[in-house]
Amino acid sequence: MAKPAPLELPRSVFEEAVAFQLYMGRAAGLSSSFANGSAIAETVRGGAAYEPRQLGRGAVAYGALVALQDPAFVRSLRGRSLDPARRKELAARIWRDPAVVVSLPGADSAAGLVVAAVSDEGARLRGVGDRIKQSAYDIQQQPWSKNEVAGRDKRLAEVKALSLSPLPTSPADVERLRLAAVGDTPLTLAPAVKPIYSPVVQRALAVAALAALGEAGEDEAALEPLLTEPECASCLKMAKLNLFQCLAVAKPWYEDVFCIGQHGLKDTGDCLAETRSIRWRPAATPAAAATPTAVAYSAQAAAYATPAATAAPAAAYRAGPTSAYGRPAVAQAGPAGRPGTDPLSAWRRPDSWTRY
């Protein structure tokens, strides 16, 4: 009797998923109560400690492992893996277009698990960011919060270093997820929800399907395009670049709280939570305008590391209106307090990005 092909995934998939879980768990535990600058500095480091490309790939990788927890989805694919020709044909279709997985038996319930897991983690992170951002207004009642941040250049350099360093993973955590993938120690998951198939969900299902078919193999490079969803990746990169710029011009402690709450956590959570139903795309370029040149994230991050690159934005930031970059406003007369309006209420991404 023919046996199904072995369920295989490269070790890097488990490592990316562990890193995703690790950051999301740590960030969810960040406190929004601050008694001094040291507590703020610790929160800034904790919220900034992720590398955008790793986190984006981790969301897809974790989603794939979650999809493998759905018995109907796995069972339908394992049955197809009995026939080598049928297996190869389906795998080739998935490699060409990950969206074909949505028509497979069990895809609805598996996608529901992915949406609930990844999007709910993003929503939880967004909630933490909201609470910390609110603290930027609340702590203005305390005089110490208006003191200038000690070692501003050093703390910005540290945040950039954390943002370019992938999170390390332990062999024990990797093994835990490997056992979950093959069904030995299933993950504890929320019930499936009615899915809307975003690109992140489609790619997670595609990776899971290839694993169940026995066609994911050990070729990490081959899976890289499936693990990287361009729109989510761009969203995470922009969140980090906005964090760098915000910290580059922030002076009092309460502004650091705002930067990490809005850009380090809330924007990051938005990128992940919106895998449920919202995608981002570049706005149409006017006919008369020149097409912007794409710049690699590493080059952008390196540019922000130089004083000359941050001097001009900082000068414009200080000279311009308070809402230009969304800094928390301080009342001009009377005690500093919560502003009447949130300058970021209508600005969640640069103008070059729109919803659809």
Domain boundaries, the chain: 11-283+296-333
Closest Cα partner for 326 from 248, 251, 258? 258
Using H for helix, E for strand and C for coil, what is the string for 73-121?
HHHHHHHHCCCHHHHHHHHHHHHHCHHHHHHCCCHHHHHHHHHHHHHHH
The C-alpha atoms of residue 355 and residue 118 are separated, in whole angstroms, by: 20
Q: Please tell me the predicted confidence (pLDDT) of residue 178.
A: 74
Using the 8-state DSSP alphabet, how is residue 281 labeled? E
Q: Please tell me the predicted confidence (pLDDT) of residue 345.
A: 29
The C-alpha atoms of residue 55 and residue 267 are separated, in whole angstroms, by: 13
Is 261 in contact with 138 (CB distance < 8 Å)?
A: no
Amino acid at 88: K
pLDDT 10s digit of each residue in the chain, 356 long?
Answer: 567 777 888 888 999 999 999 999 999 999 999 999 999 999 999 999 999 999 999 999 999 999 998 888 988 888 887 888 888 899 899 998 888 888 888 888 888 888 888 888 898 999 999 999 999 999 999 999 999 998 899 989 999 998 888 887 778 878 778 777 766 666 666 555 555 578 888 899 999 999 988 888 777 788 888 899 998 999 999 999 999 999 999 999 999 999 999 999 999 999 988 665 433 333 333 333 333 333 343 443 344 344 444 344 334 434 444 333 344 443 333 333 333 333 332 223 333 322 22
Q: Please tell me the predicted confidence (pLDDT) of residue 10.
A: 87
| Contacts for 222 with CB less than 8 Å, ≥ 6 apart | none
- Letter string b/e over residues 311-340, b meaning 16 or more CB atoms within 10 A of that residue's CB: eebbeebeeeeebebbbbbbeeeeebeeee
| Contacts for 29 with CB less than 8 Å, ≥ 6 apart | none
Helices and strands: H and E segment counts in the chain: 16, 2
